[in-house]
């Protein structure tokens, strides 16, 4: 496994990030533990979760599964760079009190204590704001984070789904308070969705944030979805199915699959390998439901894409162009 640094930190992390969103809802605890063991053995050491994962009545279940894995010992916790998130209301629909969500100092304080308990650890390495909170002053958020850092309950703060201007605002305010600020940003970024290249990635690079793309296969659209339909009768679902109703998108995906078939390459592995060539990217999040899916993702780390192939991929899925030049008419 190749390693890099996580933004402006001293943390060394693998070029893939283990996403745990499926642990609980789709993958049971035993299989989840098997996947985590395999990921750590392969050199993936940044594990990403969120307090809300498990969803619905099972909010928090994913953190519990990770906590039970840590409790098995074997230096599991010491070897992992642990990332979780705060924002969602963790109560049931009938218990959704107004101060039990988002990024108020009160909710951050409550949420971190609950996550630490579920994760069965005394600290979180990377505590991430899951979404922008338009109603809480940035200074209040940083005050709460500073207290948690001083208490040793978190080491660093990161963002998720932040626009470029919000990254700039958050880090400018942090700088005035003498704080490190955000060290990472999780954003939607893949071959089929490259808008992050306009402002989010440039802002992250300017302020020294590591970029951690989520949905690197764009909900399965870049994972050989048309070929699976043809060969196995497995129809696309969710975001992939919606996207393929567009004639132009379907033509793009077909051209993508035809190109990689000509080179003897797997679409999902190429989509991950492409992200690893992008400036500023720390590592894409992979969310395997099975050990086999993890093994496929690991092959992408060793996959070298030629300049010719990269140019052909750009031709099929063109990016917005470099900022600020791309803003000009």
Is the Cα torsion angle 63, 66, 71, 73 positive or negative in sign?
negative
Q: Return the bridge partners of 210, or none.
A: 184
| Residues marked as catalytic | 53
DSSP 27-52: B-HHHHHHHHHHHHHTT--EEE--TT
Tokens at 130, concatenated: 């899951």
Task: Provide the β-strand partners of residue 47.
Answer: 18, 82
* DSSP code of residue 161: S
What pairing do the DSSP bridges indicate for beta strands 17-19 and 12-14?
unpaired
Q: Tokens 């991950």 belong to which residue? A: 272
Contact 85, 130 (CB under 8 A): yes
| CA-based nearest residue to 17, from 164, 199, 196, 184 | 184
Is the CB of residue 49 less than 8 Å from the CB of residue 84? yes
7 contacts: CB under 8 Å, gap ≥ 6: 158, 182, 183, 184, 208, 209, 210, 282
* Buried-exposed string 71-92: b where 16+ CB fall within 10 A, e elsewhere: eeeeebbeebbbbbbbbbbbee
Q: How many CA atoms lie within 13 A of 64 on its CB side?
A: 11
Q: How many CB atoms lie within 10 A of CB 20?
A: 28
């Amino acid at each position: 496994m190749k390693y890099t640094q996580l933004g402006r930190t001293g943390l060394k992390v693998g070029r893939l990030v283990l996403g745990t969103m499926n642990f609980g809802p789709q993958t049971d605890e035993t299989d989840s533990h098997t996947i985590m063991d395999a990921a750590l053995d392969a050199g993936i050491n940044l594990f990403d979760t969120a307090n809300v994962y498990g969803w619905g009545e099972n909010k928090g279940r994913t953190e519990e599964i990770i906590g039970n894995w840590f409790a098995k010992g074997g230096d599991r916790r010491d070897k992992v760079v642990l990332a979780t998130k705060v924002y969602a209301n963790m109560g049931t629909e009938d218990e959704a009190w107004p101060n039990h969500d988002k990024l108020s100092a009160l909710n951050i304080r409550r949420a971190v204590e609950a996550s630490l308990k579920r994760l069965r650890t005394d600290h979180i390495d990377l505590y991430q704001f899951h979404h922008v909170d338009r109603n809480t002053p940035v200074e209040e958020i940083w005050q709460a984070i500073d207290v948690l850092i001083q208490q040793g309950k978190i080491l660093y703060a990161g963002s998720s789904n932040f626009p470029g201007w919000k990254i700039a605002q958050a880090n400018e305010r942090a700088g005035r308070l003498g704080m490190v600020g955000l060290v990472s940003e999780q954003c939607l970024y893949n071959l089929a969705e490259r808008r992050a290249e306009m402002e989010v990635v440039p802002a992250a690079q300017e302020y020294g944030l590591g970029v951690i793309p989520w949905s690197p296969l764009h909900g399965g659209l870049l994972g050989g979805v048309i070929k699976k339909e043809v060969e196995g009768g497995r129809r696309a679902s969710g975001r992939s199915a919606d996207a393929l109703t567009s004639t132009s998108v379907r033509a793009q995906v077909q051209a993508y699959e035809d190109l990689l078939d000509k080179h003897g390459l797997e679409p999902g592995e190429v989509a991950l390998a492409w992200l690893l060539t992008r400036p500023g990217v720390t590592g894409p999040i992979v969310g395997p439901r099975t050990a086999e899916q993890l093994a496929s993702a690991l092959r992408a780390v060793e996959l070298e894409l030629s300049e010719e192939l990269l140019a052909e991929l750009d031709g099929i899925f063109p990016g917005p162009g470099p900022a600020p030049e791309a803003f000009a008419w």
